[in-house]
Structure 1
Amino acid sequence: MAIRTVPYNESIHCSEKCLSKFLNGKLECDCGNDIRIYEWFWEKDEGETNFQLDPKNFIVTFHPVYSSGTSVVRGNKPFQQNMHYYWEMKMISKLYGTDVMIGIGTKEGFQNFTNYRFRFCSMLGLDNQTWGYSYHGKIQHDKLTRIYGEGFGLSSKVGVHLDMCTGKLEYYLNRKPLGVAFSGLKKKELYPMACATAAQSSMKLICAVSQEQTLQMLCLQCVHQNSYLYEKYSSIPGLCKIYRQKYFWMTPKISTSIPTKEQEEEELYFLALNNNSAKRKQEANYLVTPKSNKKSSTEFCSSREPNLSSNSNRASPLRMDLQHVPNDSLLRFLSQGTLDHSDDLDSP
C-alpha cells in the first residue's frame, strides 16, 4: 500500500546550485521528489540492452553506451478502469536528438516497438496503439502530430493525468496543466511508456499515484472551474492544505488573464442561475443571457453546453449532476462531508 512519506511542497524547481552539479551527466538532487508514492515501476527486460534501470526501477537510462535507434520502456502494471492516475517524470540529463517522449500505449503498441528498434523516430504515436508527448512540445497519435505546449528539458517535471472514468489524458509541465491532449481512451488496457533516441538520456519516476473517483473529487473539480467558488474555498483556513495534499495534481482550471466584460456577464449569469433564490422565481421571471437572448432558466439548464469557444477558455462553472447544487453546499461538502443544505436561509 502506498504511503505518503513527505508532505506536499510547492517548491519543485531545481536551483542553479543543483544544475551546476552533475554526476556522470545526471542530476543528483531531490527537487520535486516530495510525494514519494510509487504504485508501479518501470519493467525490467533482461534481454534488453537499449536501456538500463537503477536498482529501484525508478531511473531509466536510454542507450547507456551508444544509440542505434529508438528505445522504449513500459510500466509493470496496466491501468484499471474507472480510476484516476497521475505520475511524474523528472528529466535528469540533457535532452537532445530526434525525440524524447512520455506517454501511454497498449500491449500491442509495445510489441510493435520491434519495428522501430533500429530507426531514429518519435515512436510513441506512430500507430493507433500509442500516445505520446514530445520534448519538442508536440503530441502524437496514429501518425498525427500537432503543437500542444512548451517543450521540456533538463530538470523539467512532466506529469501525466489519465482519467480512466472519462478516457481523457492531460499533461502537466512543472505541475502546471497543459490541457487535455487525448480522449477516447476508456475501456482500453493501457500502460505508461517512455522512449528516447539520444544516447545516455535519463529520466526519473518521482511519483505514481491513483485515486478512485468520488463525490468529493467531483465537488473539488467544480470549485476549481469557478473563480467565485475558488475564492471562497481558498479563504477557508486549512481546507486548501488538506485537499492539496490529497489531490495535489488537481490544479485550478481558472484563467489568470483579465476577463472581458462578456465573460464577467456570463459568470454572473451562471452564478445567479445556481442561486436558490433565483431558482424559486424561475417560473415567473426570465433571465437575460450575456447575448441578450431571453430564455427561461429551466430551458437554459437543459440545453447549456460548456463554453469552449476560441474566444473563451472557460468551461461552465458547474458540470455533471452537480450543476444544480448550490455553491455553498459544494463548499460545505468539502469542509464537512455533506451536501445537506437544510439550514440555508434560501432553501425551500
Structure 2
Amino acid sequence: MLPKQEACNRGFCDCPFPNSIEVTNHKGHIPDLVKCRCGEDVPGNVSPWRWHVSEESDALVTDRDIIFHPTFSQGTAIVRGEHALKPGMVHFWEMRVITALAGTDVMFGIGTGNVHLEQFKFHFVSALGTNAQSWGFSYSGRVQHCGEQIPYGQKFSQGCLIGVYLDRTNGHLEFYLNRRPLGVAYTNVPTDPDVDIYPMVCSTAAKSVIRLINCTSQPVTLQLRAFQSMAKQPAKLMELRQMPGLKGILQAYWFMAPPIRYSRTSHENEFELGDEAVLSSSKLRLSRKQKYRESDDVNIDEDLYANAHKITLRRSESGDEEHAASVHEMCDEYFHYLL
C-alpha cells in the first residue's frame, strides 16, 4: 500500500476540466471554462468569506476565484482571506483546483498578519511556511513551517478539493484532500486572541486558478467536541444520521464527517479505511514527540479525544474480539452531550 501514497491523487469528481492548452489560449475569464459545482451545495455551509483584493498583487481576485499571474509569472503571488479567523473557534474551508498545477509550488494554508504578501513577488519559492509566520501544504504533498518541508500526503493537481481545518482553541492545523482528513499537521498555531490568523494561498504558476467553494466557522463547545469524537465511530455516526432531531447538528458539523467523493475514476488509487488508519497512526506516532515540543500548550486530553477511535480491541475468554467497556461508556456519554 505504501507506494500508492506517492501517486498523484485524482480529482474529486468526474466533471470535465480544461487542459493547459485551453487555459493558455483562452481570452476570457478562465474560471468560466469550468461548470463543475460538485461539493458546493453542502448543507449547513455558511455564507463564505471572500479573498482579499490587493492592487499590488499579481493575482486577479473575483468573487471566490483567484487567477494567479493572469498574464505571465515572474515570481510568487500570495493571497489571503479578507478577514482574520476568530480565536476560540474551529474553522474549515475548501478550495477547488481549477487548472493543472505546475512550476515551483502552489500552496494552501494559513499565516499571521505579519506575512508580507509581496515579499516573493519576483522570486519563485514555496512561500507559505518559509518562516514562523505561516504554515503551508504544497501540491507536492509536503507541508512546510519555519522553512522545513516534511512528507505529509499525496501529490495533487487539477480537480482536487483541498480542505483546511484550523482549531484556534488548541492551535491544531489539519489538511483534507478530496474530503479525506490527512491527520494533524501542526499543533503550534498561536492560540493568542491578539494574533491574527488568515487563510492563505500562494502560487508561482501562470494562469493557475483556485476557487473557494465552502467555508464555515463554529464555536468550540462540548457539543462540537462530542460530535468530533463520535464522527470517528462509523457505527455510532450511522445512528446519529438516523435521528431526525440531530439534523441541525449534522449540518453544522458536516465537515467533521464530510460526504464521500464523487469520482469513479479515483477508486483505483484509494486506500482501504483500515490501511489509512494504520498509516495515519504510524505517522502520528513518529511525529508526536516533535509536534509536542513545538507547542508548550498542547492539551493531552484533546489528543486522546482525537484518537479515541484508535483504542485497541481486547479478546474475551471465548476468543471473540470485543470493544472495551470503556469505549461503550464513552460513546454513550457523547450521545448525552449531543442531545
TM-score (norm 2): 0.69
Query: 1:245 matched to which residue of 2?
Result: 251
Which residue of 37, 40, 52 corresponds with 2:60?
52
Aligned residue pairs total 266
Which residue of 17, 20, 23 corresponds with 1:19?
17
Closer, same or farther: CA 332–233 of 1 in aligned 2, 3 Å: farther
Q: How far is 1:81 from its partner?
A: 1.1
- Flag structure 1 segments of 5+ consecutive residues without an equivalent: 1-11, 264-302, 338-348
Closer, same or farther: CA 132–154 of 1 in aligned 2, 3 Å: same
Query: 1:182 matched to which residue of 2?
Result: 186
Query: 2:331 matched to which residue of 1?
Result: 327
Query: 1:65 matched to which residue of 2?
Result: 71
CA contact (8 A) 1:233 1:331 kept: no
Name the larger-Rg structure. Answer: 1
> Cα deviations across residues 205-248 of structure 1 (Å, max 9, x unaligned)?
001210001121111122234x4xx4144135246765432211
Query: 1:201 matched to which residue of 2?
Result: 208
- Flag structure 2 segments of 5+ consecutive residues without an equivalent: 1-10, 259-271, 282-300, 314-325
Report the secondary structure of 1:166's partner residue.
Answer: coil
- Structure 2: which amino acid aligns with 1:146? I
Alpha-carbon RMSD across the aligned residues, in angstroms, is 3.4
Following the alignment from structure 2 to structure 1, what is the Cα–Cα distance between the partners of residues 73 and 82?
Answer: 24
Higher relative contact order (CA 8 A, sep 6+): 2
Following the alignment from structure 1 to structure 2, what is the Cα–Cα distance between the partners of residues 73 and 81?
Answer: 21
Following the alignment from structure 1 to structure 2, what is the Cα–Cα distance between the partners of residues 326 and 210?
Answer: 26
| 2:274 pairs with 1:257 | yes
- Structure 1: which amino acid aligns with 2:108? I
Q: How far is 1:162 from its partner?
A: 0.3
Identity score, percent: 34
TM-score (norm 1): 0.68
Following the alignment from structure 2 to structure 1, what is the Cα–Cα distance between the partners of residues 208 and 84?
Answer: 25
Following the alignment from structure 1 to structure 2, what is the Cα–Cα distance between the partners of residues 37 and 313?
Answer: 29
Following the alignment from structure 2 to structure 1, what is the Cα–Cα distance between the partners of residues 14 and 95?
Answer: 18
Q: Which has the higher helix share?
A: 2
Following the alignment from structure 1 to structure 2, what is the Cα–Cα distance between the partners of residues 308 and 189?
Answer: 25
Aligned ranges 1:1-348 → 2 under 5 Å: 13-16=12-15, 18-19=16-17, 24=26, 26-35=33-42, 37-48=46-57, 50-54=58-62, 56=63, 58-109=64-115, 111=116, 113-185=117-189, 186-187=191-192, 188-225=195-232, 227=233, 230-236=234-240, 237-238=242-243, 242-251=248-257, 256-257=273-274, 306=304, 314=310, 326-334=330-338, 337=339
Following the alignment from structure 2 to structure 1, what is the Cα–Cα distance between the partners of residues 73 and 256?
Answer: 37
Following the alignment from structure 2 to structure 1, what is the Cα–Cα distance between the partners of residues 179 and 149?
Answer: 23
